[in-house]
Amino acid sequence: MTSSKAGAKVIPFSIYPKYLIPFLKIFFIKQNKIMKNKRLNLKKQFCQNNLKTNPSPQ
């Protein structure tokens, strides 16, 4: 009984890194893209608001 339990515990841990690491990489890449897009959108909004509140002399 104990040997089968130990075997069952070992197998998932050897499988996890194979699937978890690529999944995490994809997840973080997606998050980075989302964050970059949010920052760009915030910058655009900020610039537009600045132009509205104090238009630059041309």
- Residues 4-43 pLDDT 10s: 565 556 656 667 777 788 888 999 999 999 999 999 998 8
Residues in the chain: 58
In a domain, 27, yes or no: yes
- The number of domains in the chain is 1
> Pick the residue with more confidence: 53 or 26?
26
Nearest to 35, CA basis, from 3, 19, 43: 43
| Res 26: pLDDT | 92
**Any domain includes 9:** no
Range of the domain at 41: 23-50
Q: What is the pTM of this model?
A: 0.45
**How far is the CA of 14 from the CAs of 18, 25, 45, in angstroms?**
8, 18, 47
Inside any domain, residue 34: yes
For residue 10, tell me if it sits in a domain.
no
The verdict on residue 40 lying in a domain is yes
Asked, for residue 38, whether it belongs to a domain, the answer is yes
53 vs 12 pLDDT, higher one: 53
